Chains A and B, each alone.
Chain A
Amino acid sequence: MIPAQFDYVAPSTVEEAVNALVEAGEDAKVLAGGQSLLPVLRMRLNVPSVVVDLCRIESLRGVRDDGDALVIGAMTTHSDVFHDPLVREHATLLTKAVEQLADPQVRHRGTFGGALAHADPAGDLGAPALALGASFVIAGSGGTRTVEADDFFEDLFTTAVQDGEILTEVRIPKYTGWGAHYEKFVRVAHQWPIVAVAAAVRVDGGTIAEARVGLTNMGSTPLRARAVESALVGQSATDEAVRGAAASAAEGTNPPSDLNGDADFRRHLATVLTRRAVLAAAGA
């Protein structure tokens, strides 16, 4: 299908991009990898007057080491995140999540920042980013600000990024030596998760010392399973112990009902997948 007509700009700096957005007002749209935006445009669900393409802004691409954190540029593709050795070493959870995201074509075009800014509750990156306590750097006409993960996801398809702003990079604290697993439940391989669970754990002598657990598609935003996290601490990494802690995974969630399953089924899945994710992360 053919999108409605729009103006197109492809600036080469963040500043120019912000200016272009501010100038166009609320009718402007940021284009990253286009994997979510292009279908929206082609189905004419959105008819922006201007599309501001970030593809020429080199500074938004790549992963860098910044002391106790990694910084992932918003325009880094899923495929580049997957292959990045820094990510693999210090934020394995992301490696595991992007590995299962969509299909190779989408992974080569879609971007880390685009996926997070899109904030699809079924997106695979929100829960890991939340679990890892990422912070989001947002550029606007007044300069840049940083938003913590807990405040970034506001609602279905809604984040702290406002009109006239661009998500430029995401800072992820290092979790060197942690075990991680992303347990994604789908019917076909190229699908968004029906439910997924992101788990990172630090195991010390067979006991879970720290745990971070994020839930995908269990509400209108990614969720932290804090009850599970605290129940896990101090437990041995065994099926029985983890099963008990995982039983509370669905507490306080509000999962959707759709073609792939109703809310009850999702609540049930969350407990099973949480147990599996934590056990796999703990290497048990």
Chain B
Amino acid sequence: MTVTEDRPAGKEIGSPRKRKEDQRLITGRTKFTDNIQLPGMLHLAMVRSPFAHATITNIDTAEAKAAPNVVMVLTGADVADEQGALPCAWPISEDQKAQPHPSIAVDRVAFAGEIVAVVVARSAAAARDAAELVDVDYDELPAALDLKEAAEDTVLAHPDLGTNKSAFWQFDSAGAGTGSAIDDAIRDAEILIEREYRQQRLIPAFMEPRSFAVDPTGEQITMWSATQVPHILKLMLALTLGIPESKLRVIAPDVGGGFGGKLQVTPEEVITLLAARRTGKPCKYTETRSESLMAAHHGRDQWQKLTLAAKADGTVTGLKVDLIANMGAYLGLVTPGVPILGAFMFNGIYKFPAYQFNCTNVFTNMTWTDAYRGAGRPEATYAIERMMDQLALELDMDPVEIREKNWIKHEEFPFTTVCGLEYDSGNYEAATARAKEMFGYDELRAEQKRRRESNDPVQLGIGVSTFTEMCGLAPSRVLGSLNYGAGGWEHASVRMLPSGKVEVVTGTSPHGQGHVTAWSQIAADRLGVPFEDIEVLHGDTQVSHKGLDTYGSRSLVVGGSAVVAAADKVIERAKPIAAHLLEASVNDIEFKDGRFSVAGTDKGMAIGELALASFSAHNLPDGVEPGLDADATFDPANFSFPHGTHLCALEVDTETGGVKMRKYVAVDDVGNIVNPLLVEGQVHGGLVQGIAQALWEEAVHDSSGTLVSASFVDYLVPTAADTISFDTDRTVTPSTSNPLGTKGVGEAGTIASTPCVVNAVVDALKPFGVIDVQMPCTPERIWKAIHDRGAGGADPTEGEAMPHFDEKDVADRSEGGAQ
């Protein structure tokens, strides 16, 4: 179905507007949750378990309660009857097993960082001091930490469940009628490649730590939360705590990043609300960075076993995927569904006849995992793009050529894939041709050959990744068919104010993306009012009463489309009034550039004049209500499928294992573009985040389940100093599933760049017979891969951090003094 309209490009859409919201966001002169101060406000500090798995035998809060300025100390036992269980909105199977997830652990902790007690005090410092005085006795239990071992039920993360397996989910193309049988493909394969890849555990590491404030005074309890999902949070809090939804108001004020990490209903939110309700006073909790790294949900963490069947000429005939996905200790809001979001993407841009996806979700005694930028789709893209390289290697073909042989040709769109998805549009040939041209592919291959021939200690690697993803979450019906708890529509209102200014209310919840700017551009073009005259309101459920928030690259595709629809309704509402005031027939009223005019005459009125006329309501046609405001809800019939070709050249210093990036080209197709600057921002940021998975970031635990990479000293989030300037460009094949013709861009860079970089690293090591390096490709792993000749450098990382701020400092110094 094509709903794209043929409208002349407007003045605003397509223009590289600088972001309206940046001045206040960058200077911090705005409302972030932690800036909120209310009279009589109390502050919370959490006491967290140092153990990955333990029984709580006793909690002594007496000393903490007696400490100065402490108002209350809560333990799990105190709130056991009222705290409910934190919600999981995506049960993937009917027999899915799950341990109820309490906000405050009651008698057992299941991961290091789980909250066991809460101190409420008159200042944050007093709360922190008293938290040190809470005395908790634990009996340590064996912890399920290694994912593969956990899948064997060697040690149980939750003894009562009797197994670590939460659920099994399968997609089989033969069973679904969307393709042929994988077993046949494997049996008949001329070439069969089996590989196992590790998706390491990552930490979303958003800039603003999570912060929550609750005001219990008044009829509605108000919660400010640094969340991506104020609307979902409101509903879930109501369901979890049995508070009527109408008695709750949630506000996501300005929020400093999320990357999926704030797509959650958190223990801390529930606890802050409980504390406010019990004390009758406003309460606030802001986490420390250490708490954030340890206890805000993590991402990825899978083992992927892949079997690829192909013909000798390089045509892929089937792919089988066996996943073990680490849930961590509990099921968060969409935890079980994250690997399922990847289920339909392992075939990528290719035409495989047979496909099977098997996923086992497994509990461990670690922080629970959940959505992280790309959620499921980076894992899938990584797997297939690494496998396509392996196939090229096997056949000694160029990796671009092998892809070309298998991908969907542009004239084959719309194309129904082996997963049953209908890819509406795309042009992989065009994006790849452009990328190769920008990259200087042939010259770099020639340089690589020279370096190989001369045994240069610095080898050149060239990586490619062609990707697509399903985003713009999403068609409500599809989400329903996957058992997801909510729909995927989005809502917008356009309010025409009497003075001619405009308020656009959106149900999306920006936390750094720039919606305020983009929505202003859309509304400006649609209504013919100046960009500056538009205010975009979001995040407060009293103002934006309907919405499904921001994640899954959905905001522009779904939410922006709702703005278009609402603006169009405003114009339709204005037409009869214009006709009445201009003494013409409605059929003769034309609207263009903010002006309603009578066809064939020079009579007309500006939209602002109509706003005032409809407000004063002195002279409206009979039966016409005052006001021009309009609401609209948009629910797409299909996902959007951005795609692109990325190429990376990097140097590997074979003496040290160090990697230096030389060139990175990203040619993305995200359909029509509302604001090229915002697209660049998303692409560049996404690239860095994906490259970080390839080279730097990993959440590492020691053998007792303590997070070792527990600060930014050891969890290596890159800075501008570690990356190069990327060369980006775009091809444009508009999406057909939304009126703007746009495709999601929020996750594209992250999805494509990880395999691109690892492919380049492995390509550089080809002369050494290396076929894989486990992520992150650290110098040590690369060096060992070279020396162990292809063993992959997948030795477990030593579970130790460098002790720059160690207690040793204290001990040694005082001892030194005594000597």
- Given the contacts A188-B719, A192-B804, A272-B655, A257 and B798 also touching, CB distance less than 8 Å: yes
In the bound complex, residues from chain B placing their C-beta under 8 Å from that of A120 are: 804
Q: Does A85 contact B (CB under 8 A)?
A: no
- Chain B residue numbers with a CB within 8 Å of A257 are 798, 800
Q: Which residues of A contact B804 (CB under 8 A)?
A: 36, 39, 120, 122, 192
A158 near B722 with CB under 8 A, answer: no
| Bound Cα distance from A173 to B128, whole angstroms | 48
Q: Using C-beta atoms within 8 Å of the partner chain, give the interface range for chain A.
A: 35 or more
Interface-facing stretch out of A42-50, A74-82, A126-134: A42-50
By a CB distance below 8 angstroms, the chain B residues around A26 are: 814, 817-818
Whether A259 and B718, one on each chain, are in contact in the complex, defined by CB atoms closer than 8 angstroms, is no
Closest residue of B by beta carbon distance from A191 = B716
B780 partner, pick from A157, A162, A164, A262, beta carbons under 8 A: A262
B side interface size, CB within 8 A: 50
> Are the CB atoms of A157 and B778 closer together than 8 Å?
no
Q: At the interface, yes or no: A260 with Cβ under 8 Å from chain B?
A: yes
Inter-chain contacts of A194 with B (CB < 8 A): 779
Residue of B nearest to A163 (CB): B817
- Of the listed stretches A1-9, A11-19, A59-67, chain B binds A1-9
Residue of B nearest to A268 (CB): B783
Is A154 at the interface (CB under 8 A from chain B)? Answer: yes
Apart from A185-B779, A188-B696, A258-B801: 17 A-B pairs, beta carbons within 8 A: A1-B290, A2-B128, A43-B290, A122-B802, A122-B804, A155-B812, A156-B803, A157-B813, A162-B816, A162-B817, A163-B813, A187-B716, A188-B718, A194-B779, A257-B798, A257-B800, A259-B714
Bound form: Cα–Cα A60–B295 in Å: 43
Determine whether B806 belongs to the interface, using a CB cutoff of 8 Å to chain A. yes
Residues of chain A lying within 8 A (CB to CB) of residue B797: 259
| Cα separation A122 to B803 with both chains bound (whole Å) | 9
Q: Known contacts A163-B813, A259-B709, A259-B797: does B808 contact A187 (CB below 8 Å)?
A: no
In the bound complex, residues from chain A placing their C-beta under 8 Å from that of B401 are none
Could you tell me if A40 and B656 are in contact, using CB atoms closer than 8 angstroms? no
Query: B446 on the interface (CB 8 Å rule)?
Result: no
Residue on B with the closest CB to A265?
A: B780
Q: Is A189 an interface residue (CB 8 A)?
A: yes
Query: Which residues of A are found within 8 Å of B806, using beta-carbon distances?
Result: 45, 156-157
Is B323 in contact with chain A by the CB < 8 A criterion? no
CB nearest neighbor in B for A28: B817
B707 CB, min distance to chain A CBs, angstroms: 12
| A45 adjacent to B805 (CB under 8 Å) | yes
**Chain A: minimal CB distance from B779 (Å):** 7
A190 / chain B contacts, CB cutoff of 8 Å: 719, 721
Report which of B125, B695, B800, B818 forms a contact with A256, defined as CB distance below 8 A: B800
Is the pair A185, B816 in contact by a Cβ cutoff of 8 Å?
no
B124 within 8 A of A: yes
CA of A103 to CA of B713 in the docked complex: distance in angstroms?
12
* A158-B816 in contact (CB<8A): yes
CA distance A43 to B294 in the complex (A): 14
List chain B residues, Cβ under 8 A from A163: 813-814, 816-818
Known: A39-B805, A258-B798, A258-B800. Contact between A189 and B778, CB under 8 A? no
Cα separation A261 to B658 with both chains bound (whole Å): 12
Contact B809 A40 (CB under 8 A): yes
Q: Tell yes or no: B288 within 8 A of A by CB.
A: yes
Q: Does B648 contact A (CB under 8 A)?
A: no
Q: State whether A2 touches B124 (Cβ < 8 A).
A: yes
Give Cα A273 to B657, complex, Å: 12
Residue numbers in B under 8 Å from A162 (CB-CB): 816-817, 819
Whether B812 contacts A259 by the Cβ 8 Å rule is no
1/0 per position for A145-182, CB-CB distance to B under 8 A? 00000000011111000111000000000000000000
B294 to chain A, nearest CB (A): 12
Q: What separation, in Å, do the CA atoms of A2 and B700 have in the docked complex?
A: 26
Q: Does B784 contact A (CB under 8 A)?
A: yes
B196 within 8 A of A: no
Task: Give Cα distance in the complex from A154 to B709, angstroms.
Answer: 28
In the assembled complex, the CB of B464 is this many whole angstroms from the nearest CB of chain A, namely: 24
Residue of A nearest to B816 (CB): A158
Q: Is B716 in contact with A192, judged by CB distance below 8 angstroms?
A: no
| A189 engages B798 (CB within 8 Å) | no
Residue A87 interfacial (CB < 8 Å): no
* Among candidates A2, A45, A185, A191, residue contacting B658 with C-beta atoms closer than 8 Å: A185
Q: Which residue of B lies closest to A258 (CB)?
A: B800
- Which chain A residues have a beta carbon within 8 Å of chain B's beta carbons? 1-2, 4-5, 26, 36, 39-40, 43-46, 103, 118, 120, 122, 154-158, 162-164, 185, 187-192, 194, 256-262, 265, 268-269, 272-273
22 A-B pairs with C-beta separation under 8 A: A2-B125, A43-B290, A45-B805, A46-B810, A120-B804, A156-B803, A156-B808, A157-B809, A157-B812, A157-B813, A163-B818, A185-B656, A187-B778, A188-B716, A192-B713, A257-B800, A258-B798, A258-B800, A258-B802, A259-B714, A260-B780, A262-B798
What residue in chain A is nearest B814 (Cβ atoms)?
A26
Across the interface, name the chain A residue whose C-beta is closest to B818: A26
A265 touches B784 (CB 8 A): yes
What distance in Å separates the Cβ of A3 from its nearest Cβ neighbour in chain B? Answer: 9
CA distance A190 to B804 in the complex (A): 14
Partner of B802, one of A46, A103, A256, A273: A256
Of all A-B residue pairs in the complex, the 8 with the closest CB atoms, nearest first, are: A163-B817, A189-B721, A261-B780, A258-B800, A1-B288, A157-B809, A158-B812, A46-B810
Task: Give the residues from 94 to 145 in chain B that come closer than 8 angstroms, CB to CB, to chain A.
Answer: 124-125, 128-129, 132
In the bound complex, CA of A122 to CA of B801 (Å): 12
The verdict on A164 contacting B817 (CB below 8 Å), with A1-B288, A188-B716, A262-B798 known, is yes
B708 touches A46 (CB 8 A): no
Chain A CB within 8 A of B807 CB: yes
Known contacts: A163-B813, A188-B719. The answer to whether A261 contacts B808 by CB under 8 A is no
Tell me whether A157 and B783 are in contact (CB under 8 A): no
- A164→B819 CA distance, assembly (Å): 13
Nearest neighbor of B718 in chain A, beta-carbon distance = A188
How far apart are the CA atoms of A254 and B132 in the complex, in Å?
37
CB distance from A103 to the nearest CB of B (A): 8
Contact A45 B809 (CB under 8 A): yes
B354 to chain A, nearest CB (A): 41
Which residues on the A side are within 8 Å of B784 (C-beta)? 265
Query: Which of A163, A192, A259: most chain B Cβ within 10 A?
Result: A259
Within B763-778, which residues are at the interface with A (CB < 8 Å)? 778
Q: Which of these, B132, B695, B714, B780, contacts A44 with CB under 8 Å?
A: B132
- B378 to nearest A CB, angstroms? 21
A135–B179 CA distance with the chains assembled, in angstroms = 76
Cα of A256 to Cα of B288 in the assembled complex, Å:
29
Rounded to whole angstroms, the CA-CA distance of A109 and B268 in the bound complex is 35
Which residues on the B side are within 8 Å of A43 (C-beta)? 290, 805
Q: Which residues of A lie under 8 Å from residue B132 when comparing CB positions?
A: 4, 44
* Known contacts A1-B128, A36-B805; A189/B656 CB under 8 A: no
The digit string for B669-711, where 1 denotes a CB below 8 A from any CB of A, is: 0000000000000000000000000011000100000001100
Closest to B716 in A: A188
Taking CB as reference atom, which chain A residue is nearest B819? A162
Contact A261 B816 (CB under 8 A): no
Which chain A residue has the least Cβ–Cβ distance from B715? A259
Given contacts A5-B129, A192-B802, A262-B798, contact A269 B656 (CB under 8 A): yes
Within 8 A of A (CB), among B715-732: 716, 718-719, 721-722
